[in-house]
Amino acid sequence: MVSSAIRHVVIVGGGSAGWLTAAVLASSLETQERGGARVTLVESPDVPTIGVGEGTWPTMRDTLRAAGLSESAFFRECDAAFKQGSRFNGWVTGAADDVYFHPFVLPQGWGDADLAGRWLERHSHVPFADMASYQPHLCVQGRAPKQAMTPEFAAVANYGYHLDAGKFGSFLKKHCLEQLGVHFVPDHVTGIASHDNGDIAALHTKAHGALAGDLFVDCSGMQSLLLGQHYGVPFLSQRGVLFNDSALAVQVPYANEHDPIASQTSSTAQAAGWIWDIGLPARRGIGHVYSSAHTSDEQAELALRAYIRATGGPGDIPPPRKLSFHPGYREQFWHRNCVAIGLSAGFIEPLEASALAMVELSAAMLADEMPVTRAQMDISARRFNETFTYRWERVIDFLKLHYVLSRREDSDYWRDNRRSETIPQRLADMLALWTHRPPSRHDFSRIQEVFPAASYQYILYGMGFRPEPGLARRPRVGESDGDTADGFFRQAADLTRRMLPALPDNRALIAHIVRHGLPKH
């Protein structure tokens, strides 16, 4: 007999996805101690976590704060650093001066003037992000996004984090067990028992027997133990749209302990992929993401080693860790009484650091939609599936945008990425519209978009996209005129002049946080 009340949520799998989901649920729901639901996480000691996702969005600040975590402790325990956006090197033409930024700060005056139109008309000799935002200049100068007296999680400039993924999982685990009342079962799942109606009734474990629950969250990684293997929910491959399916990752020491810590993720284009470079206080995390159909592992490793040498790293590095993945996502994410979050739901590629953000969004919606009874669950599942199908499609559109706009001709990889049959129809339609006008909020129908219109503008104009001459839409009556836009550009320049000397460098502020902490709100 299936219990009608949802009293016990069981999460399968730990790592960043499992423990972050546990933290969000346990801090959002009425827990067992207060007469509410119980949250249990079962994690096999025999299965290692992927542990590579080292970048977050600014949303992580609110997620950590809502879970009751300390930002100072987070910096100390997770080898964390600030992230203020992404820098793209060589994506347009591959030339030495081919650089642009996707900052986390919105353009100055966003929504109050036709910034893109004025920039295209008068200022297009200056990179759009450099003109419309102060944040690229903070990144170039290695400035932190806040001051030592700025309270925890508050910002002078919007920021997310770079972090050690393995340490982050352990940090979340400790908080879940000590502060949030999450029950932990360190065991290996050996089988699944079902109710007559097809719901999961219990998990069979090696040492703890049957573990019953009312709702099961699949955070088992790419094996997708519950949603994929048990329920057989189809996987929708995106390999025909986004080609990357392999990565080589390595940890690289700084030349000396005082080297600057980059304030952004650097993404440097290669002949058959791109290289990420993430600065943490103790090391750099560097990896080459590539298409196995366009290059070999040996060639990819040579490119990785050449990049490390060219950027001041040691000539001799340990053998990089090889990761293989199939870009795509599940046809459904919530089936019966099982929800997949993290790699079990899907993975595309690390560009723009969407993986942890999708975990945050999934866990938050699950907490908001948590059904009280089994009868309500199918309604919640339909809403969840509709929302995340939309979100995965928008992630794919946004990532593909980076490749479609490239003008590189040095390899089949870049030429293949521009083939019309590899471009999602919705993105093709948007590009056709943007030939005549800038992206706007009307192009994106959801209140909580994965990537807002401002992000599309940063990528479009950073990649050199321009409306067709003479065809750009003239502003409607009532829109802010060019003088108003110029005023916002002057504001951005003035903020740059004032913030650069007022903000500390990254390494100095991080060292201060580790030693002294940040003020509490």
Residue 360's CATH number: 3.50.50.60
Q: What is the pLDDT of residues 337-369, one digit of tens each?
A: 999 999 999 999 999 999 999 999 999 999 999
Task: Evaluate whether residue 471 is within a structural domain.
Answer: no
Task: Evaluate whether residue 75 is within a structural domain.
Answer: no
How far is residue 285's CA from residue 159's CA, in Å, rounded to a whole number?
A: 19
Q: Does the annotation place 155 within a ligand binding site?
A: no
Task: Evaluate whether residue 516 is within a structural domain.
Answer: no
Q: Does the annotation place 68 within a ligand binding site?
A: no
Same domain, 346 and 233: yes
Q: What is the pLDDT of residues 13-42, one digit of tens each?
A: 999 999 999 999 999 986 655 557 899 999
Backbone dihedral region for residue 55 (phi beyond 0: left; psi -120 to 50: alpha; all else: beta): beta
Say if CB 307 and CB 284 are below 8 A apart: no
Pick the last residue of a domain from 306, 323, 340: 323
Q: Does the annotation place 83 within a ligand binding site?
A: yes
Task: Evaluate whether residue 169 is within a structural domain.
Answer: yes
Same domain, 223 and 338: yes
Residue 4, pLDDT score: 83
Catalytic site residue from 83, 146, 173, 400: 83
Same domain, 220 and 169: yes
Task: Evaluate whether residue 424 is within a structural domain.
Answer: no
Catalytic status, residue 146 = no
Same domain, 297 and 197: no
**Secondary structure (H, E, C), 177-197:** HHHCCCEEEECCEEEEEECCC
Q: What is the pLDDT of residues 145-186, one digit of tens each?
A: 999 999 999 999 999 999 999 999 999 999 999 999 999 999
Same domain, 199 and 236: yes
Q: What does the longest C-alpha to C-alpha distance in the chain come to?
A: 71
Q: How many domains, in total, are found in the chain?
A: 2
Residues 6+ apart with CB under 8 A from 515: none
* Residue-wise DSSP of 480-504: --HHHHHHHHHHHHHHHHHHHHHSP
Residue 53 pLDDT exceeds 70: no
How far is residue 49's CA from residue 17's CA, in Å, rounded to a whole number?
A: 10
How far is residue 215's CA from residue 31's CA, in Å, rounded to a whole number?
A: 15
Q: Does the annotation place 178 within a ligand binding site?
A: no
Q: What is the pLDDT of residues 58-84, one digit of tens each?
A: 999 999 999 999 999 999 999 999 999
Closest CA to 132 of 152, 112, 146, 160: 112
Sequence-ordered alpha helix ranges (H) in 34-190: 59-66, 71-78, 115-118, 128-132, 135-140, 165-179
Residue 290 pLDDT exceeds 90: yes
Residue 477, pLDDT score: 38
pTM of the predicted structure, to 2 decimals:
0.95
Q: Which residue has the tokens 């007469």?
A: 35
- Bridge partners of 334, per DSSP, are 339
Pick the last residue of a domain from 342, 366, 394: 394
Q: Does the annotation place 352 within a ligand binding site?
A: yes
AA letter at 491: Q
End-to-end CA distance of the chain: 48
How far is residue 348's CA from residue 395's CA, in Å, rounded to a whole number?
A: 8
Which is it for strands 81-83 and 38-43: parallel, antiparallel or unpaired?
A: unpaired
Q: Does the annotation place 322 within a ligand binding site?
A: no
Q: Does the annotation place 395 within a ligand binding site?
A: no
- Backbone phi, psi, residue 129, to 5°: -65, -40
Q: Which of 52-56, 173-177, 246-250, 299-303 has the weakest average pLDDT? A: 52-56
Same domain, 263 and 308: yes
In the 8-state DSSP scheme, what is residue 261?
A: P
Average pLDDT, the chain: 94
Closest CA to 463 of 85, 57, 90, 138: 90
* pLDDT (mean) for 269-287: 97
How many Å separate Cα 15 from the centre of its chain? Answer: 16
Same domain, 217 and 339: yes
Task: Evaluate whether residue 354 is within a structural domain.
Answer: yes
How far is residue 76's CA from residue 510's CA, in Å, rounded to a whole number?
A: 9
Looking up residue 262, the CATH number of its domain turns out to be 3.30.70
Same domain, 307 and 342: no
Task: Evaluate whether residue 170 is within a structural domain.
Answer: yes
Same domain, 351 and 230: yes
Closest CA to 266 of 91, 146, 120: 91
Same domain, 252 and 300: yes
Q: What is the pLDDT of residues 454-501, one digit of tens each?
A: 999 999 999 999 987 654 455 443 445 789 999 999 999 999 999 999
Residue 1, pLDDT score: 42
Say if CB 364 and CB 63 are below 8 A apart: yes
Same domain, 188 and 295: no
Q: Does the annotation place 191 within a ligand binding site?
A: no
Pick the last residue of a domain from 394, 415, 433: 394
- Residue 190 CB coordination number (10 Å): 11
In the 8-state DSSP scheme, what is residue 425?
A: H
Residue 294, pLDDT score: 98
Residue 403, pLDDT score: 98
Residue 437, pLDDT score: 87
Same domain, 311 and 341: no
Task: Evaluate whether residue 149 is within a structural domain.
Answer: no
**Full domain range(s) for residue 390:** 8-54+164-240+327-394
Q: Residue 60 to residues 139, 158, 159, 241, 266: CA-CA distances in angstroms?
A: 20, 11, 9, 28, 20
Residue 48, pLDDT score: 67
